[in-house]
């Protein structure tokens, strides 16, 4: 439910003597480092806490151990201003802060789709144990519904008896590549499980975006826990939906890109996340929908579990389809063929290769005997740590040189701007597989390339028989995952 804002007058003072509450951010990975820097930008004194001394040292020097546009500059600005510092000492950070944001990871459990809550539980337990004065613990990590209730029990067992502490949930909605903007100017703020006192404190924390029109949704704890995973599940469903329709387009000769544009004009549907292609990946969507499948099954919500299971399966099948296209392009086998791969990150504007469809396809082709040469503007280093047996180069030209097939697997602008005429002079064979449907097929075909993708609009010109079927196309045979 939406809530009328309570007065914040004198509320912040309940958390400390300073005019503004002092903030700690526990966990300085992607979410935590971004949140800490953004809170400092909003004028708060912030302490970032991590168990990794090397990461703390890097951040203290203004260096970020991952690629996120604008974040290194923001950290350097506020480390220099004195508003932002980093430490491994959780006890000291807790004692010197009033509001404590839990931003640690919730990775998928080994051997299960369930989320691993060990880090969240331990971080919450330790913050509660180290409290020296009244405070507010704010969960931002993505967790299964019901987690907050358990954490409140942990806090009750761990916090000093004389300390007044609340736990509330404030989910994050960051997009990799735009995380700084999303934190400073969020499209909504969700506050779950708040009392009038903690709601007023959180509204004071987010006073700047609220004043500029960001809506605030106040709700119960379970609803707040479900918002982020539900949003991710819905976006994943849109992606898998259009990829399922792309298969119909392939079989019928329809144009999936034009179809998506037409659907997108319907205000009930919208155009975003309707790009057919290789599918979604990264550190959030895959693990979050699998965790939701697991939790839904535990709760007996079988319809949600079954729907999301299909979403996940459709998404994974896209990778197999691209592998099949590459095998077909090489005459039925990629053994000893040179395959140029453009893209390793799961999407542009990030170096994140967690569950990356691009890197998955590259590795699968390598395991089938191909000589795989990978170029990514930002993710080569992170990809090399994950799959060191692939060959990594520093330019599009190096990836394309002598290739029997060239695959676009991440839609970086650099790849969209590639010159098909110039590349055609250096490849072994003019074979382009556009797995992101981001290139202009007509331009590449005019330059003499055999061009294919996912959806008829990206494929060779159809030859239609009297029944209306495209005789030149067939759905590539799916091959086993590695």
Residues annotated as catalytic (active site), given as ranges: 284
CA distances (Å), origin 409, targets 318, 342, 361, 415 = 11, 6, 8, 10
The counts of H helices and E strands in the chain are: 19, 14
Cα distance between residue 36 and residue 25, in whole Å: 6
**Taking a C-beta distance cutoff of 8 angstroms, is the pair 78, 34 a contact?**
no
Cα distance between residue 198 and residue 146, in whole Å: 20
CA distances (Å), origin 374, targets 151, 363, 393, 407 = 44, 10, 6, 10
| DSSP one-letter code for 62 | T
Hey, what are 231's tokens?
């949003």
Q: 373 pairs with which residues across the strands? A: 340, 391
The 3-state DSSP class for residue 454 equals coil
Strands 135-139, 23-26: pairing is unpaired
Residue count of the chain, please give it.
482
CA distances (Å), origin 98, targets 324, 329, 454 = 55, 60, 52
φ/ψ of residue 167, rounded to 5: -115, 130
Cα distance between residue 87 and residue 394, in whole Å: 35
Sequence-ordered strand ranges (E) for 152-308: 165-169, 189-192, 216-219
Q: 82 pairs with which residues across the strands? A: none
Q: 420 pairs with which residues across the strands? A: none
């Amino acid at each position: 439910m939406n809530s009328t804002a309570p007065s914040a007058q004198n509320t912040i003072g309940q958390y400390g003597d300073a005019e503004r509450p002092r903030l700690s951010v526990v966990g300085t990975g992607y979410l935590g480092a971004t949140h800490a820097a953004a809170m400092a930008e909003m004028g708060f004194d912030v302490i970032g806490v991590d168990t990794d001394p090397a990461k703390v040292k890097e951040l203290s020097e203004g260096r970020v151990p991952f690629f996120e546009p604008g974040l290194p500059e923001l950290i350097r600005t506020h480390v220099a201003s004195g508003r932002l510092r980093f430490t491994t000492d959780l006890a000291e950070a807790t004692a010197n802060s009033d509001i404590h944001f839990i931003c640690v990871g919730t990775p998928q459990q080994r051997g299960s789709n369930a989320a691993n809550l060990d880090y969240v539980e331990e971080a919450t337990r330790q913050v509660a144990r180290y409290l020296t004065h009244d405070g507010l613990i704010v969960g931002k990590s993505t967790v299964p519904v019901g987690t907050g209730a358990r954490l409140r029990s942990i806090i009750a067992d761990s916090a000093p008896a004389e300390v007044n502490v609340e736990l509330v949930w404030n989910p994050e909605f960051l997009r990799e590549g735009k995380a700084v903007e999303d934190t400073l100017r969020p499209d909504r703020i969700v506050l779950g499980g708040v009392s009038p006192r903690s709601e007023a404190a959180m509204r004071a924390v987010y006073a700047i975006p609220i004043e500029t029109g960001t809506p605030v949704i106040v709700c119960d704890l379970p609803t707040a826990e479900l918002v982020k995973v539900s949003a991710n599940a819905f976006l994943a469903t849109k992606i898998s939906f259009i990829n399922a329709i792309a298969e119909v387009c392939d079989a019928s000769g329809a144009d999936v890109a034009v179809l998506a544009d037409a659907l997108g004009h319907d205000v009930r549907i919208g155009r975003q996340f309707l790009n057919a292609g290789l599918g979604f990946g990264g550190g959030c969507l895959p693990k979050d929908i699998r965790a939701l499948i697991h939790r839904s099954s535990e709760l007996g919500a079988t319809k949600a579990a079954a729907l999301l299971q299909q979403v996940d399966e459709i998404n994974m099948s896209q990778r197999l389809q691209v592998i099949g296209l590459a095998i077909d392009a090489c005459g039925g086998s990629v053994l000893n063929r040179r395959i140029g791969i453009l893209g390793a990150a799961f999407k542009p504007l990030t170096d994140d290769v967690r569950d990356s469809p691009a890197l998955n396809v590259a590795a699968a082709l390598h395991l089938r005997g191909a000589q795989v040469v990978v170029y990514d503007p930002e993710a080569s280093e992170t990809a090399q740590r994950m799959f060191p047996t692939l060959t990594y180069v520093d330019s599009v030209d190096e990836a394309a040189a002598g290739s029997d097939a060239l695959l676009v697997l991440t839609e970086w602008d650099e790849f969209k701007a590639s010159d098909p005429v110039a590349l055609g002079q250096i490849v072994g064979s003019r074979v382009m597989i556009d797995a992101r449907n981001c290139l202009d097929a007509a331009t590449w075909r005019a330059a003499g390339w055999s061009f294919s993708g996912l959806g008829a609009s990206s494929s060779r010109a159809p030859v239609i028989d009297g029944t209306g079927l495209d005789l030149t196309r067939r759905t590539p045979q799916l091959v086993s995952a590695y």
